[in-house]
């Protein structure tokens, strides 16, 4: 299926917006400074909302013309991805409110600490949810590849991006460059999705790239 204008927009803009947020935070928002903090989180919020739309498109791409069993599995992946997206965007909203409601970095940190101290918030919103989003995204691209809707390069690139994100959580890299690398990998993968013309019939036709 051909991406709708909204799906195309979400695929092409979500990774650059995430990268923009990373750049704004590194350049203007270190240690919670403004205006970088607010601008970065606005970019991230827009990027992750569009990423949820991209996940919906990947679901539709995978199930179009497929068997009922494929639809059930794809729906499971989508549900996990949307739950993760909800958690991620809740995190962005909390941080934005912290920026609007406080006037100093110390007060901002205290505000977010109080929210994270609420039962389940730290685990779901800041840890489990974001991890589920990107793991489900990776699973979606693998499923779409197995359904002959995408070339193998897409799940490979998304898998590499997820791996880089894991490294980012475990290793303190200068300026958190790993997040920039992950965003580039996702952008290349999503650009490939937009340029791919999948087979939608039951016959095993290989996917083709549109020049």
CA distances from 205 to 57, 150, 176 (A): 20, 11, 41
Q: Do residues 78 and 55 touch, judged by C-beta distance below 8 A? A: yes
Predicted pLDDT of residue 211: 38
- Read off the DSSP letter of residue 124: I
Q: Is residue 210 part of a domain?
A: no
Is 211 a domain residue? no
Confidence of residue 203 (pLDDT cuts 50, 70, 90): very low
CB 67 within 8 A of CB 143: no
Q: How far is CA 29 from the centre of its chain?
A: 21
Q: What is the pLDDT of residues 10-49, one digit of tens each?
A: 999 999 999 999 999 888 867 778 888 999 999 999 999 9
- CA-CA distance, 36 to 83, in Å (whole number)? 27
Cα–Cα distances (Å) from 21 to 3, 8, 47, 49, in that order, read: 26, 20, 9, 13
CA distance 14 to 1: 20
Taking the alpha carbons at both ends of the chain, their separation in whole angstroms is: 17
Domain residues for the domain of 81 are 5-205
- 26 falls within a domain: yes
Residue 181 inside a domain? The answer is yes
**Radius of gyration for the chain, computed over Cα atoms and rounded to the nearest angstrom:** 18
CB 42 within 8 A of CB 96: yes
Write out pLDDT tens, residues 121-150.
999 999 999 999 999 999 999 999 999 999
In a domain, 51, yes or no: yes
Residue 149 included in any domain = yes
Q: Which two tokens stand for residue 158?
A: 């998304």
Residue 91 domain-assigned (yes or no)? yes
Mean pLDDT is lowest, of 62-71, 88-97, 162-171, 199-208, for 199-208
Q: How confident is the model at residue 184 (pLDDT cuts 50, 70, 90)?
A: very high
pLDDT exceeds cutoff 80 at 68? no
pTM score: 0.89
pLDDT grade, residue 176 (50/70/90)? Answer: confident
For residue 154, being part of any structural domain is answered with yes
> Regarding beta strands 208-209 and 196-197, do their DSSP bridges make them parallel or antiparallel, or are they unpaired?
antiparallel
In the chain, the number of structural domains is: 1
Q: How far apart are CA 84 and CA 125, in angstroms?
A: 8
Which stretches of the chain are assigned E, i.e. beta strand? Answer: 196-197, 208-209
Residue 118, φ and ψ in degrees, nearest 5: -65, 145
């Amino acid at each position: 299926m051909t991406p709708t204008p909204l799906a195309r927009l979400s695929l092409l803009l979500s990774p650059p917006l995430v990268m923009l947020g990373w750049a704004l935070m590194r350049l203007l928002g270190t240690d919670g400074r403004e205006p970088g903090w607010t601008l970065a989180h606005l970019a991230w919020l827009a990027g992750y909302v569009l990423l949820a739309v991209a996940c919906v498109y990947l679901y539709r791409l995978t199930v179009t013309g497929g068997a009922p069993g494929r639809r059930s599995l794809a729906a499971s992946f989508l549900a996990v991805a949307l739950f993760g997206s909800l958690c991620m965007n809740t995190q962005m909203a909390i941080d934005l409110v912290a920026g609007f409601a406080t006037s100093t970095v110390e007060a901002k940190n205290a505000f977010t600490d109080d929210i994270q101290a609420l039962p389940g918030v730290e685990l779901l919103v800041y840890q489990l949810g974001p991890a589920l989003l990107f793991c489900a995204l990776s699973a979606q691209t693998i499923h779409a590849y197995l359904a002959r809707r995408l070339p193998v390069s897409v799940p490979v690139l998304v898998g590499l991006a997820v791996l880089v994100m894991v490294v980012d959580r475990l290793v303190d890299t200068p300026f958190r460059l790993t997040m920039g690398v992950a965003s580039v990998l996702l952008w290349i993968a999503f650009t490939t999705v937009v340029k791919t013309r999948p087979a939608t019939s039951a016959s095993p036709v290989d996917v083709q790239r549109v020049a």
